Amino acid sequence: MAVRAAVITFPGSNCDRDMAVAIEQVVGAPALRVWHGDTALPDRVDFIALPGGFSYGDYLRSGAMAARSPIMRAVVDAAGRGVPVLGVCNGFQVLTEAGLLPGALMRNAGMNFICRTAALKVENAGSLFTSAYRAGEDIRIPVAHHDGNYFADAETLDRLEGEGRVAFRYIEACNGSQRNIAGVLSENGRVLGMMPHPERAIDAAHGGVDGRRLFESVVASVVAA
Query: How near is the Cβ of 97 to another protein at its closest, in Å?
Result: 7
Can you tell me which of 13, 55, 90, 108 binds another protein, judged by CB under 8 A?
108
88 beta partners: 194
Q: Which of 29, 109, 115, 223 binds another protein (CB under 8 A)?
A: 109
Q: Which residues contact 18 (CB under 8 A, 6 or more apart)?
A: 51, 52, 197, 199, 200
Q: Which of 12, 14, 17, 107 binds another protein (CB under 8 A)?
A: 107
Pick from 2, 40, 60, 223 the residue near another protein by CB under 8 A.
60
Which residue among 42, 57, 80, 110 contacts another protein (CB under 8 A)?
A: 110
Question: Segment contacting another protein (CB under 8 A): 1-9, 36-44, 147-155, 204-212?
Answer: 147-155
Q: What is the 8-class DSSP label of residue 31? A: P
For residue 197, indicate whether it is catalytic: yes
Tell me which residues in 167-196 interact with another protein (CB under 8 A): 176
Alpha carbon distance 13, 51 (integer Å): 7
CA-closest candidate to residue 121, choices 85, 159, 167: 167
Q: Judge whether 89 counts as a catalytic residue.
A: yes
Nearer to another protein, 10 or 133 (CB): 10
Question: SS3 of 176, please?
Answer: coil
Q: What angle do CA 183, 73, 217 make, to 5 degrees?
A: 35
Could you tell me how far CA 145 lies from the centroid of its own chain?
13
Q: Which residues bind another protein (CB under 8 A)?
A: 60-61, 64, 68, 96-97, 102-104, 106-111, 149, 151-152, 176
